Structure 1
Amino acid sequence: MRVLIVEDEIPLAETVRHGLTEDGFVVEVVHNGEDAVWAATEHAYDVIVLDIMLPKLNGYKVLEQIRERGVWTPVLMLTAKDGEYDQTDAFDLGADDYLTKPFSFLILVARLRALIRRGAPERPVVLTAGDLTLDPVRRRVERMGQEVTLTRREYGLLAYLMRHRGETVSKTEILENVWDPAFDGDPNVVEVYIRYLRLKLDAPFDRHAIETVRGLGYRIDSDGG
């Protein structure tokens, strides 16, 4: 089991390297983002452990670049950044797991083994619903070939709907997955952002992709409306 560790804190990197080696992993370590991109694209690994705050290229850029180059090796983000947007950005760019520092070494090993068992099947880069497309790697949304600029929250909501296109998702499910499981604000905020998306994605193009399913929630048509 071959692991690439990308970590600029050398003592921590060496501690993790030593522990994983003792557990039977073959470990390589790099300390900056540029070396990480080179290593991930030039060599085959079973899993990559990637910090976010790195010299030269941050972890988000590393993840973005290797996914753009078709490297689908499972990536576990190991970082002190624990905000909901930090995690959302990582998953949108193609991360497979996220573990915050300080961490349990036993948990790290368990998660790495789980990722390796799952393997790295190639995933579709672009989500589509008719002439509506969302590229998670470039965070780019297009309608009829024309780019549409969305806020972070609008993008998160659309990405969730696109991943469940053809399905009806409830307001509660949206709040838990796009906002926060502990969200205790006004649930009508979902309706507000659905309206924002319709104004940007449907109205200018004479489309009706985002449906309200009365009493149940919202759905985006598989054919894009």
Structure 2
Amino acid sequence: MRILLIEDDRALCAALQPALTGAGYTVDTCHDGADGRELLCGGSYDVCILDRMLPGLDGLSLLRTARTKGCTTPVLMLTALSGINDRVDGLDAGADDYLGKPFDTRELLARLRALTRRPGTSAETAVHCGDVTLDAAQLTLTGPHASVGLTKRECDLLEALLRAPGQLQSRSALLARVWGPLAEVEDANLDCYIHFIRRRLNTVGSTVKIVTVRGSGYKAEAGL
């Protein structure tokens, strides 16, 4: 199960990471509001922990924008602003739960379990888009004519695109999603993997296209 942690306190992130991974989560960490918005809107996460006070873009604005764009990922807002008015503002902005700092890690994990148990919010390993099905658990792509195996990185990249068909995924968001927010990776690596997944789609006979938006990024378009 994949979790997005948007928190600018790096020491807190470092403290939370072992507890989250120990609970079975794969954790992507982001420390900036604008980057966090792009990752969250990518639609590839099962749950998000969101700090309210972030550089670049505050948590409330980030969440409002994500909900406006149709993002349904469950969000737990985590912040030192824990008064009743603050909690109401967070919930009205689209948060599913609200936990004030300081907190007990056991309570945080229990709240995450509650969020991912809700109907319609559990992770689905199968992603359907147009005439293809991507099984992220088995690393397989199935289309009208065949099924092929994928590498983990190919699968992660294709999943990010197929979960939000028609939605532009910026290069920076895709690099952070697939290689990690702090990875030192060149843009050319992304272009190579886009080539790989286009070839996989062609192999299975799919009409789904990965469209290049020059200077911005990529998006998946389901064929007719």
Q: Which residue of 1 aligns with 2:159?
A: none
Output the CA distance in 1 between the equivalents of 2:41 and 2:83.
29
Q: 1:79 to 1:119 in 2, by over 3 A?
A: farther
Pairing of 1:1-150 with structure 2 (within 5 A): 1-120=1-120
Task: Please give the per-residue CA displacement for 1:56-104, whole angstroms capped at 9, x wherever unaligned.
Answer: 0000011101001000100000110012111111111111000011101
Task: Please give the per-residue CA displacement for 1:152-191, whole angstroms capped at 9, x wherever unaligned.
Answer: xxxxxxxxxxxxxxxxxxxxxxxxxxxxxxxxxxxxxxxx
Q: 1:16 to 1:37 in 2, by over 3 A?
A: same
Output the CA distance in 2 between the equivalents of 1:43 and 1:11.
26
Aligned partner letter, 1:69: K
Q: 1:38 to 1:114 in 2, by over 3 A?
A: same
Q: TM-score, normalised by structure 1?
A: 0.52
Q: 1:47 to 1:93 in 2, by over 3 A?
A: same
Q: TM-score, normalised by structure 2?
A: 0.52
**Structure ID, larger Rg:** 1
How far apart are 1:43 and its partner, in Å? 4.3
Task: Please give the per-residue CA displacement for 1:178-213, whole angstroms capped at 9, x wherever unaligned.
Answer: xxxxxxxxxxxxxxxxxxxxxxxxxxxxxxxxxxxx
Pairing of 1:160-199 with structure 2 (within 5 A): none
Gaps of 5+ in 1: 122-225
- Displaced runs of 4 or more, over 3 A: none
Output the CA distance in 1 between the equivalents of 2:53 and 2:39.
18
Output the CA distance in 1 between the equivalents of 2:56 and 2:31.
10
Q: What SS does structure 2 have at the residue aligned with 1:81?
A: coil
Gaps of 5+ in 2: 122-224
C-alpha RMSD over aligned residues: 1.2
Output the CA distance in 1 between the equivalents of 2:98 and 2:43.
23
Contact 1:5–1:17 (8 Å) recurs in 2: no
Aligned partner letter, 2:91: F
Aligned partner letter, 2:61: K
Q: 1:120 to 1:58 in 2, by over 3 A?
A: farther
Output the CA distance in 2 between the equivalents of 1:119 and 1:49.
19
Q: What SS does structure 2 have at the residue aligned with 1:106?
A: helix
How far apart are 1:23 and its partner, in Å? 1.5
Q: What SS does structure 2 have at the residue aligned with 1:76?
A: strand
Task: Please give the per-residue CA displacement for 1:116-160, whole angstroms capped at 9, x wherever unaligned.
Answer: 011556xxxxxxxxxxxxxxxxxxxxxxxxxxxxxxxxxxxxxxx
Q: What SS does structure 2 have at the residue aligned with 1:50?
A: strand
Aligned length: 121
Output the CA distance in 1 between the equivalents of 2:111 and 2:36.
21
Aligned partner letter, 1:8: D
Q: Percent identity?
A: 46
